[in-house]
Chains A and B, each alone.
Chain A
Amino acid sequence: MTPASLQGGGPEPTARAAVVSVAVPLRSRLMFQSQTSRRLAFGYLLLAPAALYVLLLVGAPFVFSLYLAVSDANVGDPVATFIGLENFRSALEMDVFWIALQNSVIFLVVAAIFKSILGTSLAFLLLQDFPGKKLIRGLVVIPFTLPIAISVLAWKWMYDSQFSVINWVLSRVGLIGQYGTDSWPIWLGDPKLALLACIAVNVWRTFPFSAIVLLAGFTSVPLEVLDAAKVDGCSFFQRFRHVVAPMIFPILMIGFLFDTVFTLSDLSVVYLLTQGGPANASKILPVLAYQIGIQAGNLGRGAAIALFLVPLLAPAMFLFLRNLKRREY
Chain B
Amino acid sequence: MATAQTLRQKERRRHLWIYAGLTPFVFIAVFPIYWMLITAFKQDPDLYRMDNIPFWFNLAPTLRHFKILFFQTNYGAWIVNTMTIAAWVALITLVTAVPAGYALARLRLPAAENIGISVFMTYLVPPIILFLPLSRVVAMLGLQDEWWALVVVYPTFTIPFGTWLLMGFFKTVPMEMEEAARVDGCGYLGAFLRVVLPVSVPGVLTAVIFAFTLSMQDFLYGLAFVAPGDQKPVPVGVPTELIRGDVYYWGSLMGAALLVGLPVAVLYNFFLDRFIQGITGGVGK
Contact = CB atoms under 8 A, between A and B. Distances in A.
Contact of A154 (B15, B33, B117, B121): B33
B282 A145 contact: no
B4 interface: no
B130 A40 contact: no
B107 A42 contact: yes
A311 to B, nearest CB: 12
Interface stretch (A14-22, A187-195, A261-269): A261-269
Interface in A281-329: 285-286, 289-290, 293-294, 299, 302-303, 306-307, 309-310, 313, 317, 320-321, 323-325, 327-328
Contacts of A147: 216-217, 235, 260-261, 264-265
Given A50-B96, A154-B254, A208-B29, A62 B119 contact: no
Contact of B155 (A57, A150, A324): A57
A62 B136 CA distance: 12
Nearest to B250: A157
Contacts of B160: 54, 58
B238 A321 contact: no
B86 to A, nearest CB: 12
Contacts of A145: 213, 264-266, 268-269, 272
A157 B269 contact: no
B220 interface: yes
Nearest to A43: B107
B163 A50 contact: yes
B73 interface: no
Nearest to B129: A306
Contact of B260 (A150, A250, A272, A321): A150
B188 interface: yes
Interface string B260-285: 11101110110011001101111001
A58 B156 contact: yes
A23 interface: no
A146 interface: yes
Interface in A138-165: 138-155, 157-158, 160, 162-163, 165
Contact of A290 (B217, B220, B253): B220
B108 A136 contact: no
Interface in B88-123: 92, 95-97, 99-100, 102-104, 107-110, 113, 115, 117, 119-122
Contact of A142 (B22, B103, B265): B265
A294 B29 CA distance: 34
B63 interface: no
A251 B130 contact: no
Contact of B130 (A39, A61, A152, A268): A61
Contact of B281 (A144, A254, A303): A254
A126 B120 CA distance: 30
Contacts of A82: none
Given A61-B134, A142-B29, A165 B35 contact: yes
Contacts of A102: none
B50 interface: yes
A44 B103 contact: yes
Interface in B20-68: 21-22, 25-26, 28-30, 32-33, 35-36, 39, 47-48, 50, 54
Of A149, A254, A265, chain B has the most CB atoms within 10 Å of the CB of A149
B129 to A, nearest CB: 5
B70 interface: no
B205 interface: no
A294 B188 contact: no
B181 to A, nearest CB: 14
B253 to A, nearest CB: 6
Contact of B128 (A149, A162, A289): A289
Interface string B127-163: 1111111111100000000000000110110011001
17 contacts: A46-B100, A121-B25, A139-B26, A141-B269, A145-B268, A148-B217, A149-B239, A151-B257, A155-B32, A212-B276, A213-B280, A255-B276, A267-B128, A271-B219, A286-B220, A303-B132, A320-B124
Interface of B: 14-15, 18-19, 21-22, 25-26, 28-30, 32-33, 35-36, 39, 47-48, 50, 54, 92, 95-97, 99-100, 102-104, 107-110, 113, 115, 117, 119-122, 124-137, 152-153, 155-156, 159-160, 163, 188-189, 192, 213, 216-217, 219-220, 223-224, 234-236, 238-239, 248, 250, 253-254, 257-258, 260-262, 264-266, 268-269, 272-273, 276-277, 279-282, 285
Given A54-B159, A139-B29, 4 more contacts: A53-B96, A145-B272, A158-B32, A313-B126
